[in-house]
Amino acid sequence: MKITVNNLRKTYDGKQVLSVDSLEVKKGCITGIIGPNGSGKSTLMRLISGIEKADSGTVAFEDKKASEETWKGITLVFQKPYLINTTVYENIAYPLKLRGAGKDEISRRVETMLELLELGSIRHRNARTLSGGEGQKAALARAMVFEPQLLLLDEPTANIDPKSIYIMEKAIRHINEKVGATVLLVTHNVRQLKRLCSYGIFMNNGSVEIQGAVGSLFEDLDNTPMGSFISEEFII
């Protein structure tokens, strides 16, 4: 699913937090968004996902305005996902039930996700009792189980252990390669951006400063805000 953003503006309490003149996310690719805290990455994700409305500007999906059907093919995983107060299995089955899937189909798809994200052993645990990494994996499984056309991920691997990051990255590649989903990923991790994404967007002060192939973000680093962002990232 191609995303086209034009003149998108968002203000909170009188302060403009997002001002994107033009942005295009390519269909079927994994695109990473990187940038310092407060650069508008999460706000952009929330506006694209439709959970918040922009003050002005447009977000088009395949050059069309979003309809109710469009939203059914788009999902967002938050950094701190909300998990339903039931088992891991039921959490993952939830979007399939919303779509009226049959019992056999639900079972088959949920089992695939449990295996892909290595959640089989905790399928009967209440999702509220999971650790941070387990919760993120369950949320990713829930978002992927209905094979969305567009998967929005807002720092899904922040503060979790390397093994869980590896499993989640493998799952993200799976949905992109096997299902053809477009993935838009917010990350603070430069290495993850290079590992996973073919396209990159650098945001700063609410604006898109660089967009293009991931390699283009790392050109002329001495003279771009991306350069100073990366140096800070490596100092940390």
Partner 1 sequence: MEYIMEGFKEAFKLLLSFDSEVYGIFLLTLYVTLMSTVISTIIAVPLGIMIGLKKFKMKKALIRLLYTLMSMPPVIAGLIVYLILSRRGPLGELQLLFTPAAMIIAQVTLVTPIITGIVYNSTRDRGESIRQLAHTMGANKKQAFALLIFELRADLLGAIVSGFGRAISEVGAVMLVGGNIKGHTRVMTTSIAMLQSMGDYSQAIAIGIVLLLISFGVNSILYHSQQVN
List contacts with partner 1 (CB under 8 A). 49-51, 68, 71-78, 81-82, 84-85, 94-95, 98-99, 142-143, 146
Identity of the residue, 150 or 193, whose beta carbon is nearer to partner 1 in the bound complex = 150
Closest contact distance (angstroms) between CB of 197 and partner 1 is: 21
Identity of the residue, 18 or 76, whose beta carbon is nearer to partner 1 in the bound complex = 76
23 touches 211 (CB < 8 A): yes
Closest contact distance (angstroms) between CB of 76 and partner 1 is: 4
88 touches 123 (CB < 8 A): yes
Torsion of CA 171, 172, 178, 182, to 10 degrees: 160
Give Dmax (Cα) for the chain.
57
171 touches 140 (CB < 8 A): yes
Identity of the residue, 45 or 226, whose beta carbon is nearer to partner 1 in the bound complex = 45
CB proximity list for 21: less than 8 A, separation 6 or greater: 6, 7, 207, 208
Q: Give dist(CA 74, CA 150) in Å, integer.
A: 5
Q: Give dist(CA 41, CA 34) in Å, integer.
A: 7
Closest contact distance (angstroms) between CB of 50 and partner 1 is: 6
Identity of the residue, 96 or 119, whose beta carbon is nearer to partner 1 in the bound complex = 96
Identity of the residue, 143 or 171, whose beta carbon is nearer to partner 1 in the bound complex = 143
64 touches 70 (CB < 8 A): yes
Identity of the residue, 143 or 203, whose beta carbon is nearer to partner 1 in the bound complex = 143
210 touches 194 (CB < 8 A): no
